[in-house]
Amino acid sequence: MGKSVYSLVLMDEVVDKVDEAAYQLGTSRSGLINQILADYVSYTTPEKHVEGIFSSLENMFKEMNTFQVLANPSPYYMNITSSLRYKYRPTIKYGVELYDNSKYSFGELKVTLRTTNQTLIRDMNTFLNFFAKLEEKYIRGILEENLCYKIEEKKYTRQFVMPKEQGVDKVDLGVLIGEYIQVFDSVLKVFLNNLPYIEDACSDAEKEYITLMQKVHAII
């Protein structure tokens, strides 16, 4: 979506009020005027689209005591945390980034383990590789675009693609992201709770993955 410079004749008093409102909202004069005009003509800007997705996602997790929604570091990014039943209560951070204008993906999830416990780090790395194999096995053929992910130490990055189902709006995308985070979080905890018995951990985690993925509204 392109942007251009336009000349407008506005009252100084109106611009002063716009500047005050823009400052309170943490945006620019141009950004606020653009949004006001978009609302007036019933046009959904990319910023408004993202706001709707995050609003849906936040409302979903506010009802759960196992997750905590953190303050957004930017309009296109949201952080959610979940604690593990482990010594010193380490946390998993789920960072959701939405793209403004991408042809193949509308955003990505960055999962990060926050701990210095070397045993837990090793187990997390084992799980991430196991989880990626589950995704390859069960959903690669379902997605409209290629399954795209990256595994690093204590970190898993996974791109989201638009689901094949028609009529999915911005609110539904928030729900779909939330469902995926819940699946990952639950499968991870089942896996860790079964350790050090790795075969049981993999078996039970795979069963949990299959069960939960059958309940989601769409695959992203």
Assign 3-class secondary structure to 134-172: HHHHHCCCCCCCCCCEEEECCEEEEEECCCCCCCCCHHH
User: Is the N-terminal amide bond of 196 cis, ω within 30° of 0?
Assistant: yes
Fold designation for 46-213: Yope Regulator; Chain: A, (3.30.1460)
- pTM listed for this prediction: 0.83
Q: Of 159, 216, 209, 219, which is closest to residue 188 (Cα–Cα)? A: 209
The string of pLDDT tens digits covering residues 94-146 is 999 999 766 678 999 999 999 999 999 999 999 999 999 999 999 988 886 78
The string of pLDDT tens digits covering residues 20-71 is 999 988 788 988 888 888 778 877 777 888 888 999 999 999 888 899 999 8
Q: Residue 12 CB: number of other CB atoms within 10 A?
A: 7
Distance CA(152)–CA(150), nearest Å, equals 7
Where are the domains positioned within the chain? 7-43, 46-213
- The confidence score (pLDDT) of residue 4 equals 82
Q: Residue 28 CB: number of other CB atoms within 10 A?
A: 12
